[in-house]
Amino acid sequence: MRAAHPREERVGMAFYASDADGVGGRLRVRPEDFRVREVETLDPAPVGSDPGDYPHLLVRATLHGWDTNDFAGRLSDALGMSRERVSWAGTKDKHAVTTQLFSLRGVSADEVPAVRNADIEVVGRLGRALQFGDLAGNDFSIRVRDLACDTAAAADRIDAVTESLADLAGGTDGAHVGVPNYFGHQRFGSRRPVTHRVGLHVVRGEWREAVLAYCGDPADSEPAETQEARAVVDEVATSDDPDWQRALDTIPGYLRYERSMLHRLAEGTEAEASEAEAGGDAEDAEGAEDGEGAEDGEGAEDARFRHALEAVPSNLQRLFVNAAQSYVFNRIVSERLRRGLPLSEPVAGDVVCFTDRDVDAPFAVPDTDREQRVTETRVDVMRRHCARGRAFVTAPLVGTETELGVGEPGDIERAVLKELALAPSDFALPGAFDSTGTRRAVLVRTGVETAVDDEGAAFDFALPRGSYATVFLREFLKVDPLDL
């Protein structure tokens, strides 16, 4: 089993599925080298429909060099409304040309603003906001440049990887390749993979550590100015009387979420100082000491740092916990690979989910309401279902409602959770941080068309929602994830 790049190991991706050499190279040398278009499933009402019945305007935006969250913020600013009124079905990368849907609550068609490097088309109206997963999948057309070998060698290596991944896919049609359905590096932060660490602290109730992991802890892949600012946050945090205003003043404006958190800490410190100077009263002092307004069992300091973490949008709060779940999932899949357990077919103890009947075959995903535990007597039957694309082997995205597997798959899940000091019950969290959990396929299958020429290598493929193009391409490139 070929070991992954050290940066990938840090986010739980320990192995490649193919042992063949990669072609090297870089993605996104130009934004147009990475094109992705959502495969839509919605049937919106006409634009002229009654806004009372259909309060959400649906738009399709083709974005050049826009991060999804940043574009949503730009839209809400231009419309003079809360970002919470902008929703989307899937998050896309900044260094790309992406076409995706957004819903805008309480906005009319003639109010849609012009935004630089964005082509916005009004599509219709919806009775509800878009939700994550409101798409079948994504179509990708990707150019890899600066290959590490000549065209003949690149073609041979791509063929070798393809053959290996076809074996991994299993199945009966022979037309697909398969890759471990890892969460990609960008799920955790492309340049500074830290969101899962924040999430792990949140799940353990370590609110102070969560804030400092996000605001401090500089990474060598960041600009020098950013590293220096984060170092100041770390320095301030070690003080017996932290000067959070100093930390805030150091953080550059483009780190707006860090600034939002530190602003709340500085504001809280200033309020406490003013109260102390005024003398306060015994009742106020007692309430502050007991952490008034905190969750049950949560002290004043925990409440203060949780309040700081809640300064970011609710979708980012959810992302912290989702990233922690994703890291656990990656670890489980990696351990499955290390032990030689198959991904395309179940073993006794696995939890298999049947295919979602509402999704067309090329974008099939598990229906987590239709799961079955695989016993010794059902292994052969369930293997046939998986081979025919009717079912998926799954692993948990751990939450409060997660029931772990049994047998060797269950041993893997429990060992990973024990090492991380986590349990499903830990995900009973306040507000947007709470998660019941779900299940995810451990393997993703797709068809792929490839070509090699003097400009590099081209890959055309499609993936179901929730699967990552970079996870697919890493098998063919085998490079530092920073080049993905």
Give pLDDT tens digits along the chain (484 positions).
899 999 999 999 999 999 999 999 999 999 899 999 999 999 999 999 999 999 999 999 999 999 898 999 999 999 999 999 999 998 888 889 999 999 999 999 999 999 999 999 999 999 999 998 899 999 999 999 999 999 999 999 999 999 999 999 986 565 789 999 999 998 998 889 999 999 999 999 999 999 999 999 999 989 999 999 999 999 999 999 999 999 999 999 999 999 999 999 999 866 665 655 565 554 444 444 444 455 666 788 999 999 999 999 898 999 999 999 999 999 999 999 999 999 999 999 999 999 998 887 778 899 999 999 999 999 999 999 999 999 999 999 999 999 999 999 999 999 999 999 999 999 999 999 999 999 999 999 999 999 999 999 999 999 999 999 999 999 999 999 988 8
Closest CA to 38 of 484, 463, 471, 481: 463
State the Cα–Cα distance between residues 345 and 374, nearest whole angstrom: 11
Helix (H) or strand (E) holding 458: strand 456-464
Catalytic hit among 33, 93, 134, 426: 93
Top-tier CATH class for 316-441: alpha beta
- How far CA 255 is from CA of 196, 231, 249, in Å, comes to 18, 14, 12
Exposure of 135 in the CB half-sphere (CA atoms within 13 A): 26
Residue type, 331: R
Q: List, by residue range, all CATH 3.30.2350.20 domains of the chain.
A: 316-441
pTM of the model: 0.89
State the Cα–Cα distance between residues 92 and 73, nearest whole angstrom: 14
Exposure of 429 in the CB half-sphere (CA atoms within 13 A): 29
Q: List, by residue range, all CATH 3.30.70.3160 domains of the chain.
A: 42-134
Phi/psi at 95 (5° precision): -90, 70
Q: 214 near 324, Cβ under 8 Å? A: no
- Chain-centroid distance of CA 282 in Å reads 46
Q: ∠ CA 351-355-357 to the nearest 5 degrees?
A: 145
Exposure of 322 in the CB half-sphere (CA atoms within 13 A): 16
- How far CA 256 is from CA of 251, 253, 434, in Å, comes to 9, 6, 24
State the Cα–Cα distance between residues 395 and 332, nearest whole angstrom: 7
Say which residue the tokens 């819903």 belong to. 103
Structure tokens at 4: 């992954």
* Domain range 42-134, CATH architecture: 2-Layer Sandwich (3.30)
State the Cα–Cα distance between residues 40 and 243, nearest whole angstrom: 49
Q: Is 93 a catalytic residue?
A: yes
